Amino acid sequence: MEFISTRDVTLRLSASEVIKKGLSDDGGLFVPECFPTLSSEQMRALLPMSYQQRATAIMELYLSDYTHEEVEQCVNAAYSTPKFETPDIAHTVKLDNITSVCELWHGPTSAFKDMALQMLPQLLPLAIRKTGEERTVVILVATSGDTGKAALEGFRDVAGTRMVVFYPKDGVSDIQRLQMATQQGENVAVVAIDGNFDNAQSGVKALFSDRELAQRVARDGYLFSSANSINFGRLLPQIVYYFSAYCDLVNSGRLAFGDRVNFAVPTGNFGNILAGYYAMRMGLPVSRLICASNRNNVLTDFFASGTYDRNRPFYLTESPSMDILISSNLERLLFELAGRDDALVREWMSSLAERGTYSVPETVERAAQTVFYGGCCDSAGTSRAIERAYSQYGYTLDPHTAVAFAVAQDYREETGDSTQTVIMSTASPFKFSGSVLSALGRRVAADEFENLAALSELTGLHIPEPMALLQKLPVRFSDVCDKGDMERAVLDILQKK
């Protein structure tokens, strides 16, 4: 198995090179040269397996320059208890006869980002070794909240790596700030910037593309890399839980083996739902992929019209991890739907960069619509979904998952489709306890820890251990830097130690 770029199909790289590089030099995203498919026998063999065994079986199909033992070791190190609260790792819960929830947030930072960011730090050090890299990899991250903490926790004390995370000083929740400021590990640093998320992101991008800086840090034995969701090493672990959820439904009798299933996915950068599409291409019996957006509904419009247009207002919502107008991973889907025509993808992406918009031909639009349904949900709808799931099923949704719950319901009403549907749940409700309490008609306190306690009291759910401990951990990182000083901040951090 080798990898090609969505913007240059003649390129050929190994899995380890792709994981080390993250992004292709032509600006494209790495994709597998073909989709390995599972026979019915191979699918059946997954049924009795543990999550870890399923993960090994699926990921090794792509990681051809890793040995079976290496993949197995990576998987076992990534997905273990008590790092994950549940031994089944991605736990499914039945809501009614046709609806289940797959909880992807039982990892150390209570968001689904852990599913990938526990695995990537296992794969990357091996990729460094396999590609003969001798420098220390310095991972730079700009975060609006969830990614930063999950990356820090994944990479803490991972040999051969260091990490610097930048977040907007006033742009993250109290819990998210505390999660990062109290981060442990000798190889990590966290810096708040006096600016917004866009400033953090463009600052990090500027550091990546600064050749002079790259040469300067290379002399000290460092190489910059990225852990954001365009790295194939983050996409790959996400394919696993689509297969695993399917197996769990079959094993619990909710689905007959071979029956098709719908997945509803709260979507931002299109990474999670794309993994569902990849699973389908590998032979998983998927009927529809329901792409759920919040008020930033650029994808809903795309699936309805074939035109992607980011020229629109940007809204801050109570599902901040989906507040995004450029869904980077959509490029990988377009590449497949366009028959892997790299010239077309280049054309669309340059139109997006120059004019903020592009339109795909009707054939591509139709191909998208046969698999995907796009829907969106505003703030009031999100609150209603939280309230309804709680009163109807006694189940507590976080605001991101609530968007998917609402859109799945709209889809069902609109189409009459009663296919078994799995809602991909991306965050613990405790991570957004203020919004959840407010949707359930309770008072919201100024102090986040009071809200955690109130939500626990109300729902009978326990506060995830790492979140409960935050109150007691010492703050290690309190530096704030000007948005123009990010290079200086990185150099200072690398100088220490």
Helix (H) or strand (E) holding 483: none
Torsion, CA 421, CA 430, CA 79, CA 248, rounded to 10: -20
Beta bridge partners of 188: 163
User: What token pair was written down for 136?
Assistant: 């220390």
For ligand PLP, which residue of 6, 229, 300, 420 counts as binding (CB under 6 A)? 229
Residue 32 or 271 having the CB closest to ligand PLP: 271
Distance CA 112, CA 432 (A): 14
Minimum distance between the CB of residue 21 and ligand PLP, rounded to whole angstroms? Answer: 20
> Is position 181 an interface residue for ligand PLP (rule: CB under 6 A)?
no
> Is position 325 an interface residue for ligand PLP (rule: CB under 6 A)?
no
Look at strands 91-96 and 161-168 and give their pairing: unpaired
Minimum distance between the CB of residue 106 and ligand PLP, rounded to whole angstroms? Answer: 13
- In 335-434, DSSP assigns E strands to 357-359, 372-376, 421-425
For ligand PLP, which residue of 72, 146, 331, 342 counts as binding (CB under 6 A)? 146
Residue 138 or 291 having the CB closest to ligand PLP: 291
| Residue 417-446 contact track with ligand PLP, rule CB under 6 A, x = bound | ---------xx-------------------
Question: DSSP letter at 2?
Answer: -
Minimum distance between the CB of residue 276 and ligand PLP, rounded to whole angstroms? Answer: 10
**Contact predicate 446/417, CB 8 Å:** no
DSSP string over 131-151? TT--SEEEEEEE-SSHHHHHH
> Is position 56 an interface residue for ligand PLP (rule: CB under 6 A)?
no
Question: How many chain residues bind ligand PLP (CB under 6 A)?
Answer: 17
Q: How far is C-alpha 489 from the geometric centre of its chain's CA atoms?
A: 27
Minimum distance between the CB of residue 241 and ligand PLP, rounded to whole angstroms? Answer: 12
Cβ burial, residue 257 (10 Å; 0-12/13-18/19+): middle
Computed on alpha carbons and rounded to an integer, the radius of gyration of the chain in Å comes to 21
Minimum distance between the CB of residue 12 and ligand PLP, rounded to whole angstroms? Answer: 27
> Is position 109 an interface residue for ligand PLP (rule: CB under 6 A)?
no
Q: Residues 263, 266, 272, CA angle at the centre, nearest 5°?
A: 70
Minimum distance between the CB of residue 87 and ligand PLP, rounded to whole angstroms? Answer: 22
Minimum distance between the CB of residue 190 and ligand PLP, rounded to whole angstroms? Answer: 18
> Is position 318 an interface residue for ligand PLP (rule: CB under 6 A)?
no
For ligand PLP, which residue of 151, 163, 322, 333 counts as binding (CB under 6 A)? 322
Q: Catalytic residue at 113?
A: yes
Residue 61 or 111 having the CB closest to ligand PLP: 111
Residue 14 or 383 having the CB closest to ligand PLP: 383
> Is position 321 an interface residue for ligand PLP (rule: CB under 6 A)?
yes
| Residue 251-280 contact track with ligand PLP, rule CB under 6 A, x = bound | ---------------xxxxxxx--------
Residue among 21, 83, 94, 113 flagged as catalytic? 113
User: What token pair was written down for 411?
Assistant: 């889809």
Minimum distance between the CB of residue 418 and ligand PLP, rounded to whole angstroms? Answer: 26
Residue with tokens 């998320």: 197
> Is position 228 an interface residue for ligand PLP (rule: CB under 6 A)?
no
Q: How far is C-alpha 8 from the geometric centre of its chain's CA atoms?
A: 25
Distance CA 328, CA 343 (A): 17
Strand, helix or coil for residue 497: coil
Question: DSSP letter at 432?
Answer: G
Distance CA 110, CA 104 (A): 8
| Residue 378-417 contact track with ligand PLP, rule CB under 6 A, x = bound | ----------------------x-----------------
Question: DSSP letter at 38?
Answer: -
> Is position 297 an interface residue for ligand PLP (rule: CB under 6 A)?
no
Catalytic residue ranges: 113
Binding site for ligand PLP (CB under 6 A): 111-113, 146, 229, 266-272, 321-322, 400, 426-427
